[in-house]
Amino acid sequence: MRTSKQKKYNLLQVEIDKLQAEKSEIVGEIGKIKVQIGKLEATQRKYQDMLSMDEMFKKDLEKRYQIKETEYRNEILNYLNSLYEIIKVEE
Query: pLDDT tens digits, residue range 25-71?
Result: 999 999 999 999 999 999 999 999 999 999 999 999 999 999 999 99
C-alpha 14/C-alpha 22 separation (Å) is: 12
Q: How confident is the model at residue 72 (pLDDT cuts 50, 70, 90)?
A: very high
C-alpha 71/C-alpha 64 separation (Å) is: 10
DSSP E strand boundaries for 1-91: none
Is the pTM of the predicted complex or chain greater than 0.85? no
